[in-house]
Amino acid sequence: MKRICGLLAGVAGLGMTVATAQTKAPTTAPTTHQWTIDDFAALPLIERPMLSPDGLHIASRAAIGGEQKLVIADVHDGPNRVRTMGLGDNDLNWWQWVNDDWLIAGIGTETYVQGMPWYLSRVVSIKRDGSKVNMLAKNVAAQNADDVIWVARDGSPRILLSYQTSIYSDDAGFWPKVDEVDVTTGRMRSAVAPKQFVRNWYADASGTVRMGVGYNDSSRTAKLLYRPDARSSFRVVDRADRRRDESLVVPMLFTADPSHAIASDDHEGADALYDYNLDTLELGAKIFDAPGFDLGGIEEDAAGTALAGVRYVADAPQVHWFDANLAKIQADLDKAVGDRRARIVSTSRDGQRMIVHVGTPDQPGAYYYYDTAAGAMSLLSRISDQFPTKVRLSPVKTIRYKARDGLEIAAVLTLPAGRDPSKLPLILMPHGGPFARDAEEWDWWVQFLAWRGYAVLQPNYRGSAGYGTAFAEKGEGQWGLAMQDDLNDAVDWAVQQGIADPARVCMVGASYGGYAAMRAAERDGAKYRCAVSYAGVSDLGAMMRYDRRFLYHGTRKDWMKEQAPDFASVSPISHAAQFSTPILLVHGRKDRRVQVGQSREMAEKLKAAGKVEGKDYIYVEQPLADHHFTRQADRLDFLQRLDSFLRDHNPA
């Protein structure tokens, strides 16, 4: 890193201010620093910035007026350097450049079909200067229409879009077709007709649809369709019976050799990358693994026919670069940032320009624009104006403890800065999912609690993702049972280490973590002074009834029965009378992942069981909130209510 200069900062409000990036290691925040709740509730100024192929334009999600918007910015100065795209009440789910002048974005919204809420997905194409927006497949798409399976790499404005044309399963259009779409005009040309039961299509780098995966929910059987080139017909080359726990191997990347691909498989206990022979459908040599951890997504080379890198999460997010140039750049960055972490998040097609995130688990950090030819790395935007990059907040580390059956479990521990880590009040915070995990990353919610004086422990209980097949399988049938025991065992570890005061423990969680908090208040109230659930699930049976609107509901129900064989016995709503510790229930009315009725009806059951509102439970509905805290006002409201509740029931 030869020099660091200010380029672009303060995207919020579209105001441009220049700031100089910090080259010195940040220092731990003094305990006297006067943060406010508003600081922690603030939305990130920028999220997931993505470079155009030429590396001269950036698309990202940014915080504007307390809400998240799609922003398109030019790297160099110009009269319209930054454009903001309003998408109304639609969710902005993803975005991707097609060429230097056009990008696409996946959006979604909920509507009612025959009296039931349905989630509709669409793709819009957006001209870089904001002068034109096209809704793709506008007049023909049905429920799901945002599966882009290929983007041209030659600069032409072409994509392959897989989408439904009917919502009725007895129509051929219920199964998605694939069209080539010109994103500048929205004109479409048929590429692959729909085939019964085939839900997912896969294309190679040239834009040839090579593979389809079909699934029959009633028989629980899958099939793999394949063709070597566009002139050939699809044929069924493999089958699997989910009732026998069989699975299909599907390529992650088609290589330049038409007979070979790269696939991920877990037959050695964790997801690893292998060569995949398309002629024999056999896995070949292992390409890469991360012992003890599953691999995540891959990074393709510029041609789209070879691996540039693979990402995974160990104790913290990691990347292994196969591309020698990127590996060298990563090594140079790591050396330059010291004990901070540098992550290449987006590159231009020629690999010369890139966006790099530099931060730590106790500091949100900033995004930088790096021109490798010039040897210059310039500040693009801080993630937070509230927490200067020179200041660190509460330290974060991974610990490991033994569950009562001897299973080793990793957990992320955050200790309040400047406090003696002894006999602290503890917040036990299980993650959502539950097939997800926590890692050493910046977390605004955790850092708020640590700032208030709490130790925060986030266990990756059995069934969590990323630790291999055997660890995931240990969660089967254990929702609210052994998975809940793992959480209690984490509390015991913190007490045994002298970190936590056993009389001052509260469980706080969202989604599945909210379910676990309800379960704690009902099953293990003696261990917790209070519990907090945001968007939690209280009734597993009701959740499955809600999920009937989704494709493959039968398989989803099978999976849920594997996780919780007896819904009623582990559903908190079935045991309202057993709640023995105060609980705060908060839920957004616009939650499209977990219906607000899950918390609303839990509150009603608590009242019917004789629990006193305001004393035994508090229920809050946020009228505009979703599942993901995309509005700053909802974050602030929640933190204020959480803060007040903890002061009353588990003061720091």
**pLDDT for position 627:** 92
Check pLDDT > 60 for residue 247: yes
Domain positions in the chain: 3-382, 394-649
What is residue 109's DSSP assignment? Answer: E
CATH superfamily of 394-649: Alpha/Beta hydrolase fold, catalytic domain (3.40.50.1820)
User: Position 527: which residue type?
Assistant: K
pLDDT tier for residue 18 given thresholds of 50, 70 and 90 = very low
| CATH code, 3-382 | 2.130.10.120
What does the pLDDT look like over 533-577, one tens digit per residue? Answer: 999 999 988 887 766 555 556 556 666 767 777 889 999 999 999
pLDDT tier for residue 33 given thresholds of 50, 70 and 90 = low
At residue 599, what are phi and psi to the nearest 5 degrees?
A: -90, -40
Tokens 């960055």, located at residue: 333
Distance CA 566, CA 264 (A): 33
At residue 357, what are phi and psi to the nearest 5 degrees?
A: -95, 135
Whether 3-382 shares its CATH topology with 394-649 is answered no
Q: To the nearest 10°, the Cα dihedral for 224, 229, 233, 234?
A: 10
**pLDDT for position 20:** 26
**pLDDT for position 559:** 66
Tokens 């404005």, located at residue: 157
What does the pLDDT look like over 297-348, one tens digit per residue? Answer: 999 999 999 999 999 999 999 999 999 999 999 999 999 999 999 999 999 9
**pLDDT for position 558:** 65
Distance CA 229, CA 3 (A): 49
Q: What are the distances in angstroms from CA 271 to CA 293, 310, 431?
A: 8, 12, 21
Residue among 68, 110, 69, 67 at smallest CA distance from 592: 110
Distance CA 238, CA 219 (A): 16
The residue-averaged pLDDT of 625-637 equals 94
211 contact partners, CB below 8 Å, separation of at least 6:
201, 202, 224, 225, 226, 227, 250, 251
What is residue 329's DSSP assignment? Answer: H
When the pLDDT of each residue in the chain is averaged and rounded to a whole number, the result is 90
The residue-averaged pLDDT of 478-482 equals 93
**pLDDT for position 557:** 66
**pLDDT for position 555:** 58
The total of other beta-carbon atoms located within 10 Å of residue 471's CB is 23
